Structure formats: structure tokens, C-alpha cells
């Protein structure tokens, strides 16, 4: 008799698993590609582990529970209708912000593209190539007066629909140099743009996001969680931005505002500026070092800093689509992820930096950047 009931329980669990699996597959059809791939991979690994390590009965029971929980998770991954929702994007003159403005416009969003120079080539291209839904707005994130004026223009342009999302993308890279060599002005500039600018833009527009129960998406960097040599100023400013985002995610949940942070890996953008700018910064470092520091590091070493990012073109991608898809997901799904890590190796290096003993990580990190061939352009 016990054998009969045991077999009956196994068949019941098998039927439940098949039913839940079918429901799960139906939901996966309407799920974004990157989420679908993750779900299938996790379910396959978890299902194989359960069936190999447990009895058939308990394996099927645990697998059924996994299917149910995955189905609940995927129900929050369904895309909301665009309905010309309005999104504000900062730093749209070039790079990721420029590409993101075009992408969101093609999806049907009403795009408010904040630019550093509304008469520049990037702004003119957006106005020429995008639909009438896109508006270019002068917005230097370090200028409080321009932020207030941008708020007035946004309210004026979307009085009925309101503002659905703020995407803080504007940022600067700074000169790659050892933390001791960088002038304090470089630290202050990175913090002014990458952190304080984001904070002020966010504080200004949060009342609109509370009304719409919308989204706040902050573009950080892999350098926010992975210590990288020569990036003390940039990495510190992005780390501050990541923590700011995490705190706001907790605080704004009471109003239904979702907060997501994007930590991309290496992508080719205009963050680093021109060679002329870098030459000027390098000269500024040499002119302001004390004699003992200059002697300890050596002038040849300081002049060779330019070459540390020589191999960057090899490792960085000019295809922004992973970032664009993750931002779309953060803005459009019912329950966005708290953290996105687009780009080659971004998630892997974040895991290594978080879980590997410091000594082992330091050994690996020393080989991440080494002097490359001499370059003529960034």
C-alpha cells in the first residue's frame, strides 16, 4: 500500500511540475531575451541538481516549487505599455546617452534629452534624426539654475502625462593616474558631475516621479564595485552614486517608485575626452607635485600613464545594445532589477571583487591594466 501511495505522489508531483512548467514556458515567450535566458539557465541547473541529489519524489516537489516561484518572478517581468511615457535622460550629447535617446524615441517614449550644449553637434543630430516626441533641453548637471530651468521645461512639456522616469547618465571619466598623483580638483570635478549632479537632478525631479510612481535609473560603472588602479577619483564617485541609489531604493518604495542602478563594463564613449585635454591634465599633475612625490614616482612613470589605457579599445565595445536593453528593462517592466551589469565581464568581476579574498583579488587585479602601446588618441 505504501508503495502505491508513493508512486501516486510521484505521479502527482510530475503532473504538477509539468503543469507549472507549461505555464512557465508561456510566460517566458513574453519575457525580454536577457531575462528569459537567465530563467531557463537557472531552472535547468536547479532542476538537474534536484533530480540528481534527491529522491524522485522530493526532486519533483522541489522542482515544482521552483517553477512556481520562477513563474511569480516572471509575472513581474512583463513589459508595461509605452503609451508615450515621458523620460528625462541626462548627458545626451554623445556616447551612451545619445544612443539611449534615439533608442527610447524609437520605442515610442517621449524623450527629454538633457545636453551640455543644446547648440552642439550631438543635440542637433538628435533633433534632426528623431521624432517630434524628442525634445532637447539644456542641462549641465553641475549648474543648479539649469536644473531648475529644466524642471520648468519638463513640467511645461508633459503637463498631463507627467514624468515616468529619470535616467541619470551624465558623467566624466577624469585622468587615469595613481590616487596620490591626482590633484584635488580632479576628485572634486568627478564628484561634482558623477555624484552631486545626480543627487541634485534626482532631488529636483523626485516629486514628479512620486506622482507617477515611476522609475529612477542611475548609470554607474563596474568601477563602483571593482577596485581598479588609476581610477581613484572616478571609481569613488561612482561608488557613492551606487550607494545613493541603494538607499533611495529603500526610501522611495513607500511611494511605489522603483530605483535601479546600471553598472556597465567597458564601452567606448567620449567620457575620456580628447588628447589635448589629457595632455593638459598630465602637465597639471607634473606642475603641482611636490619634489619628493615626483622623485618617488619618477617623471617617466607619470608621462607613461597615458599608455595604461592603450589596450582599452581591445576590451571595450562600441555596441551599446546591452546597456540600452537593460535600461529599457529597468524603465518598462513591472518589477525591475535593483542592479544591472551589462558588458563583458562586468558581473563576473563584481562577484570576484565581492567574494574573493583581498590578497587573491589584488593579485588578479594587477594584471588587469598594464602599459600598452603608445597611443596618439584616447
Contact 195, 144 (CB under 8 A): no
Which helix (H) or strand (E) segment holds residue 135: the answer is: strand 135-138
Helix ranges, the chain (H): 2-29, 33-53, 56-75, 95-107, 121-129, 144-157, 184-191, 197-212, 232-252, 275-288, 291-297, 299-303, 312-315, 321-332, 346-355, 358-365
Spell out a b/e string for 104-116, using b for 16 or more CB atoms within 10 Å of the CB, else e. bbeeebbbbbbbb
pLDDT score recorded for residue 364 = 84
Q: What is the DSSP letter of 177?
A: B
pLDDT score recorded for residue 375 = 41
Strand order in the sheet with 258-262: 135-138, 110-115, 86-89, 163-168, 215-219, 258-262, 339-340
Contact 10, 51 (CB under 8 A): no
pLDDT score recorded for residue 263 = 95
C-alpha 114/C-alpha 137 separation (Å) is: 5
Closest CA to 165 of 197, 135, 196, 206: 206
pLDDT score recorded for residue 161 = 80
pLDDT score recorded for residue 52 = 57
The structure's pTM equals: 0.81
C-alpha 142/C-alpha 367 separation (Å) is: 36
Closest CA to 276 of 286, 265, 284, 287: 284
Contact 13, 60 (CB under 8 A): yes
Which helix (H) or strand (E) segment holds residue 167: the answer is: strand 163-168
C-alpha 267/C-alpha 95 separation (Å) is: 9
CB atoms within 10 A of CB 6: 13
What is the phi/psi pair of residue 196, to 5°?
-65, -35
Domain boundaries, the chain: 2-75, 86-365
C-alpha 273/C-alpha 90 separation (Å) is: 17
User: Is 234 designated active site?
Assistant: yes
Give me 78's grid cell: 512583463
Residue pLDDT tens, the chain, 378 long: 456 545 555 555 555 555 555 555 555 555 555 555 555 555 665 555 555 555 555 555 665 666 666 655 565 567 889 988 999 999 999 999 999 999 999 999 999 999 999 999 999 999 999 999 999 999 999 999 999 999 999 999 998 788 999 999 999 988 888 999 999 999 999 999 999 999 999 999 999 999 999 999 999 999 999 998 889 999 999 999 999 999 999 999 999 999 999 999 877 776 566 667 777 888 888 888 889 998 999 888 888 877 666 556 566 777 889 999 999 999 999 999 999 999 888 888 898 999 999 998 888 887 665 544 444 343
Contact 247, 201 (CB under 8 A): no
C-alpha 89/C-alpha 158 separation (Å) is: 15
pLDDT score recorded for residue 1 = 45
Q: Which of 234, 320, 340, 369 is catalytic?
A: 234
Contact 181, 139 (CB under 8 A): no
Q: Please give the CATH architecture assigned to the domain spanning 86-365.
A: 3-Layer(aba) Sandwich (3.40)
Distance in angstroms between the alpha carbons of the first and the last residue of the chain: 77
Question: Torsion angle, CA of 199/204/210/214, rounded to 10 degrees?
Answer: -70
C-alpha 235/C-alpha 127 separation (Å) is: 33
Amino acid at each position: 500500500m505504501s508503495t502505491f501511495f508513493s508512486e501516486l505522489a510521484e505521479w502527482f508531483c510530475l503532473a504538477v511540475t509539468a503543469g507549472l512548467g507549461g505555464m512557465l514556458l508561456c510566460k517566458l515567450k513574453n519575457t525580454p531575451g536577457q531575462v528569459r535566458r537567465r530563467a531557463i539557465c537557472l531552472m535547468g541547473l536547479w532542476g538537474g541538481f534536484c533530480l540528481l541529489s534527491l529522491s524522485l519524489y522530493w526532486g519533483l516537489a522541489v522542482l515544482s516549487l521552483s517553477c512556481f516561484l520562477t513563474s511569480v518572478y516572471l509575472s513581474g517581468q512583463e513589459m508595461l505599455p509605452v503609451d508615450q511615457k515621458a523620460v528625462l535622460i541626462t548627458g545626451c550629447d554623445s556616447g551612451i546617452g545619445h544612443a539611449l535617446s534615439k533608442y527610447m524615441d524609437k520605442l515610442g517614449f517621449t524623450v527629454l534629452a538633457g545636453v551640455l550644449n543644446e547648440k552642439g553637434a550631438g543635440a542637433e543630430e538628435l533633433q534632426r534624426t528623431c521624432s517630434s516626441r524628442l525634445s532637447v533641453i539644456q542641462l549641465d548637471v553641475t549648474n543648479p539654475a539649469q536644473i531648475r530651468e529644466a524642471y520648468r521645461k519638463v513640467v511645461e512639456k508633459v503637463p498631463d502625462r507627467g514624468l515616468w522616469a529619470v535616467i541619470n547618465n551624465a558623467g566624466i571619466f577624469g585622468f587615469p593616474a595613481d590616487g596620490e598623483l591626482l590633484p584635488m580638483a580632479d576628485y572634486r570635478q568627478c564628484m561634482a558631475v558623477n555624484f552631486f549632479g545626480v543627487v541634485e537632478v534626482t532631488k529636483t525631479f523626485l516629486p514628479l516621479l512620486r506622482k507617477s510612481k515611476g522609475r529612477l535609473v542611475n548609470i554607474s560603472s563596474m568601477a563602483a564595485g571593482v577596485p581598479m588602479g588609476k581610477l581613484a577619483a572616478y571609481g569613488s564617485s561612482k561608488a557613492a552614486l551606487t550607494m545613493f541609489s541603494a538607499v533611495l531604493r529603500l526610501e522611495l518604495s513607500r511611494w511605489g517608485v522603483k530605483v535601479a542602478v546600471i553598472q556597465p563594463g567597458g564601452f567606448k564613449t567620449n567620457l575620456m575626452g580628447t588628447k589635448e585635454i589629457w595632455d593638459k591634465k598630465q602637465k597639471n599633475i607634473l606642475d603641482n607635485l611636490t619634489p619628493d612625490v615626483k622623485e618617488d614616482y619618477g617623471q617617466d612613470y607619470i608621462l607613461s600613464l597615458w599608455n595604461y589605457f592603450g589596450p582599452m579599445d581591445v576590451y571595450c565595445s562600441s555596441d551599446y545594445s546591452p546597456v540600452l536593453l537593460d535600461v529599457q528593462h529597468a524603465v518598462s517592466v513591472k518589477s525591475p532589477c535593483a542592479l544591472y551589469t551589462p558588458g563583458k565581464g562586468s558581473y563576473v568581476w563584481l562577484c570576484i571583487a565581492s567574494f574573493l579574498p583581498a590578497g587573491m583579488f589584488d593579485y588578479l587585479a594587477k594584471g588587469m591594466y598594464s602599459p600598452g602601446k603608445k597611443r596618439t588618441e584616447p
